């Protein structure tokens, strides 16, 4: 695992975007696993900027998103499909049919989960997976749990996550209670993983996830076992790691 520090959010975003863009340049028909939430917004802005300058071509890229709320209309501004269209897909030359977000409105969610797993496999798997980390240590919407061996499944969001995501909705009551997410096993199958984290509120959980015991109660701790993880974090998010494991930071 590499932990790469950045002085601030803009720099963290640019560095992470550099790795994603290298992936697209080296393998133009790659499969990118994508995340939503506040953290990756700057990464997507940077990718759009390089696309507009003519440095990136997404015409052969496929994408699979980590997760989606259940029961939120896909056209809702806070659906993860809307988020991806607004922040990336509508601004680059990716064919929209190459982009995939789990369907949180499927009649049969078990069938939808199985379809999504199959889809990822049929694309040849994820070349590079972008992740954020939640305050509970979740990746995707894999909340603290008693096991790691999950594939795409339906989850009940924790109170902590509902509170954290309320900032995107009119009120906490409007945040959906359920979501569909790639499982830990699905995420771990990606060839390469890029984790982005910013802000002091992530400092404790980031240290626990990257240096604490590997335990499904801290879902992101499984990343310690992945062979190719690069973490891009700003100094605020690295505060605890900087104190306890300064030698681990590049």
Binding site residues, ligand F6R, CB under 6 A: 35-39, 66-67, 132-134, 138-141
At 70, list the tokens: 């259940």
**Nearer CB in complex with ligand F6R: 37/176:** 37
**Nearer CB in complex with ligand F6R: 107/167:** 167
Distance of closest approach, residue 36 Cβ to ligand F6R, in angstroms? 4
**Nearer CB in complex with ligand F6R: 35/180:** 35
Are the beta carbons of 250 and 4 closer than 8 angstroms?
A: yes
Which single residue brings its beta carbon nearest to ligand F6R?
132
Distance of closest approach, residue 164 Cβ to ligand F6R, in angstroms? 7
- β pairing state of 67-69 and 178-181: antiparallel
Please return the burial class of 24, using the count of CB atoms within 10 Å of its CB with bins 0-12, 13-18 and 19+: buried
Distance of closest approach, residue 104 Cβ to ligand F6R, in angstroms? 12
Cα 69 from Cα 81, distance rounded (Å): 10
Distance of closest approach, residue 198 Cβ to ligand F6R, in angstroms? 8
**Nearer CB in complex with ligand F6R: 39/103:** 39
Q: Beta-strand (E) ranges in the chain?
A: 2-6, 31-34, 62-65, 67-69, 99-100, 128-131, 153-156, 178-181, 192-197, 229-234
Per DSSP, the chain holds a count of helices (H) and strands (E) of 8, 10
**Nearer CB in complex with ligand F6R: 67/207:** 67
Q: What b-and-e string marks burial along 65-77, b requiring 16 or more CB atoms within 10 Å of the CB?
A: bbbbbbebeeebe
Distance of closest approach, residue 28 Cβ to ligand F6R, in angstroms? 24
Cα 235 from Cα 239, distance rounded (Å): 6
Owner of token pair 């409007």: 174
**Nearer CB in complex with ligand F6R: 36/191:** 36
Distance of closest approach, residue 112 Cβ to ligand F6R, in angstroms? 17
Distance of closest approach, residue 8 Cβ to ligand F6R, in angstroms? 16
**Nearer CB in complex with ligand F6R: 118/163:** 163
Owner of token pair 């999950």: 150
């Amino acid at each position: 695992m590499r932990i790469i520090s950045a002085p601030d959010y803009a720099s963290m975003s640019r560095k992470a975007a550099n790795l994603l863009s290298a992936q697209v340049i080296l393998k133009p028909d790659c499969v990118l696993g994508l995340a939503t939430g506040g953290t990756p917004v700057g990464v997507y802005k940077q990718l759009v900027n390089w696309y507009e300058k003519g440095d990136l071509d997404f015409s052969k890229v496929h994408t699979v998103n980590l997760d989606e709320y259940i029961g939120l209309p896909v056209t809702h501004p806070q659906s993860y499909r809307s988020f991806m269209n607004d922040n990336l897909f509508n601004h680059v030359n990716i064919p929209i049919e190459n982009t995939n977000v789990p369907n949180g409105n499927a009649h049969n969610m078990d069938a939808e989960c199985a379809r999504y797993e199959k889809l990822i496999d049929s694309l040849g798997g994820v070349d590079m997976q972008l992740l954020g980390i939640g305050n509970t240590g979740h990746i995707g919407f894999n909340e603290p749990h008693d096991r790691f061996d999950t594939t795409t499944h339906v989850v009940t969001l924790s109170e902590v996550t509902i509170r954290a995501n309320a900032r995107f909705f009119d009120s906490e009551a409007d945040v959906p209670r359920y979501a569909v997410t790639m499982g830990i096993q699905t995420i771990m199958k990606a060839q390469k993983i890029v984790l982005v984290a910013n802000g002091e509120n992530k400092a404790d959980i980031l240290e626990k996830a990257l240096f604490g015991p590997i335990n499904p109660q801290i879902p992101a701790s499984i990343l310690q076992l992945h062979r190719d993880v690069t973490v891009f974090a700003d100094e605020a998010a690295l505060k605890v790691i900087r104190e306890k494991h300064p030698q681990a930071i590049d």
